[in-house]
Structure 1
């Protein structure tokens, strides 16, 4: 009996061949979902600093790589054994898969899901093969097992989160990394409580959500530090009680308004840190 040939579709995406090169729009082949997988037609994709780190080599990954790990769209195909999603569902991608059944997931530490160990291998969770292939036959790594710099993705159900149909998909993509990382840094990992002093250093896509999370958790002082005036203005609109252009400007004021205790939590969300 002949084995059925795997089905695939031809589409295009932003692919990085080597660190230091530019993203290029190239045609590639995207496989249909196998057991446990889902195909999604994306409506939007975010560009995260982590994607830029692929270009600089700061985040090593097997090349070539299909970028993007913040996406939102509609489920178009469902593979065998998928129980959490169906065709037509609106979903957001998760930059770390959460299977829900491994030991870390069972104790509420989904960010340590066992399936996350293969995050930058380029190999699908279901069968350790590439779901994407370049036009010249190379296996194509999907950034964070996703690869949202393309119109369609085929990913494991553990990498998708169902959302309500009335949430705008154009902006929902940001929930996949920037919002979750920033908010979670303040509320979950940082453990902000009512009355706390929280300092957020670097008000980019992650930092601005850390500001919102700290404010929502009831922090008495939410200090935002960034040299860009526009970012400080946005921080004030979204929950910062104090803003500063530098650490040097912030330190004496923070000492005074915290009665010498300084910060309960400091969240560093700058793009790069020079430790010299």
Structure 2
């Protein structure tokens, strides 16, 4: 079958992307699913900083590649060996698929699946091969086995989770990355307990999910840190108790004073070494520093060894929020439906395939939290983010579609 998809063929083209056009919309041929694969009609896909990091070259990926890793859609065709999915099921993608059989999967850590990591390195699926072909019949890789900046995509069974079909798929799109990574880093990796103090560094879509996760966990003090005042204001609306600008030269001292010596948990979600250094500095003795940010290939963070030992601090990474997707996506959706995780508040509005370059300009400039791609076009009466900005109209949210 044919599908229109967002293809990246060159890395690190200059901004603004509206002019350099790194993302090209191409009609590709999609090879049918194999026995353990699923064909999905993509309904919504979030524009995430991880996609931007591929576009700007900060994270290495093989080219050409169909972008997109955070999304949701409807099952159109099921591989012959799959018995627990059916046509019409609503699913959320997860960007770290799992096989269920390798050592990490057997240990209950499917986000570290070795089979998936091997397939990701080659831009294919865990079942083998690449399903996108261009006009010259050349393969086009799948971004992290998902490639959801496409009208249709083929993924391995281990890359989707069945979700409640009453949830708008444009909202569901965010659960596969922003929610799992941000909420999971707080709830699963850091294991914040009621009454504790938390500092969240970086308030993009993932970071604001971290703020919501801290509130759900019952943290007493939730400190939000970012460079942008608008994001600090948003964090306060979503549950942060205090907000500090990362440019404040007295940031560390102020947070320590507020929390009587430092926070119990510092969660770095900015993907920046200065943020990681500040997170470590504001953590109390015996506290935990968690990072789920990706600062780019080759970047490193230095730990003062003596302070690490004498302070008995914990420093650890968090990949996909240490989530077990089949467990965590449904429970996070339950929290959303109860009002405890207002994920829809992160959505700035919607874009079409042709507007992706402009959308990533907004993400690069820090003027958007989560724009949602609707690859089949916008419903009647709904304007895109670009159109609304031009008209001076507030952005549409999920309740409008």
Compute the TM-score of the two structures, normalised by the length of structure 2. 0.64
Equivalence for 2:156: 156
1:248 alignment partner, SS class: coil
Structure 1 SS opposite 2:233: helix
Gapped regions of structure 2 (runs ≥ 5): 14-21, 275-298, 301-401
Number of aligned positions between the proteins: 266
Of the structure 1 ranges 45-54 and 100-109, higher mean CA displacement relative to structure 2 is found in 100-109
1:151-181 CA deviation, whole Å, 9 max, x = no partner?
1011101000100010110111011111110
Q: Is the contact between residue 16 and residue 66 of structure 1 (CA under 8 Å) also seen in structure 2?
A: yes
Give me the CA root mean square deviation. 1.6
Q: Is the 8 A contact 2:94 2:160 kept in 1?
A: yes
Q: How does 1:31-70 map to 2 (within 5 A)?
A: 31-70=31-70
Q: Give the aligned partner of residue 25 of structure 1.
A: 25
Give 1:1-276 correspondences, 5 Å limit. Answer: 9-21=1-13, 22-117=22-117, 118-126=119-127, 128-246=128-246, 248-260=249-261, 262-273=262-273
Contact 2:116 2:126 in 1 (8 A): no
Distance 1:137 1:273, change over 3 A: farther
What SS is found at the alignment partner of 1:264?
Answer: strand
Structure showing the higher helix proportion among its residues: 2
Q: What do the CA deviations read for 1:35-54 (whole angstroms, capped 9, x no partner)? A: 11000101111111111111
CA contact under 8 A between 1:193 and 1:218: conserved in structure 2? yes
Runs (4+) of structure 1 moved beyond 3 Å? 247-250, 271-276
**In structure 2, what is the equivalent of residue 5 of structure 1?**
none
Find the counterpart in structure 2 of residue 3 from structure 1: none
Return the offset for 1:271.
4.4
Deviation at 1:20, TM superposition (A): 2.4
2:69, 2:148 within 8 Å by CA — same for their partners in 1? yes
How many Å apart are 1:217 and its aligned residue?
Answer: 0.9
Deviation at 1:248, TM superposition (A): 3.3
SS class of match (1:158) = helix
SS of structure 2 residue aligned to 1:80: coil
Structure 1, unaligned stretches of length 5 or more?
1-8
SS of alignment partner, residue 135 of structure 1: coil
Q: CA deviation at 1:17?
A: 0.7
Instruction: Give, in angstroms, the shift of residue 19 of structure 1.
Output: 0.7
Question: C-alpha displacement at 1:195, in angstroms?
Answer: 1.9
Q: Give the CA deviation at 1:249.
A: 4.4
Aligned-partner Cα distance in 2 for 1:132–1:256: 55
Give the whole-Å Cα distance in 1 for the aligned partners of 2:123 and 2:90: 25
Aligned to 1:4: none
Native 8 Å contact 2:193 2:217 kept in 1: yes
Instruction: Output the CA distance in 2 between the equivalents of 1:122 and 1:106.
Output: 24
Q: Give the Å deviation of 1:104.
A: 1.6
Supply the distance in 2 between the matched residues of 1:254 and 1:69 (Cα, whole angstroms): 35
The answer to whether the 8 A contact 1:84-1:157 is kept is: no
Superposed CA deviations along residues 230-256 of structure 1, whole A, max 9, x for unmatched, are: 211211121111111125343233222
Partner of 2:279: none
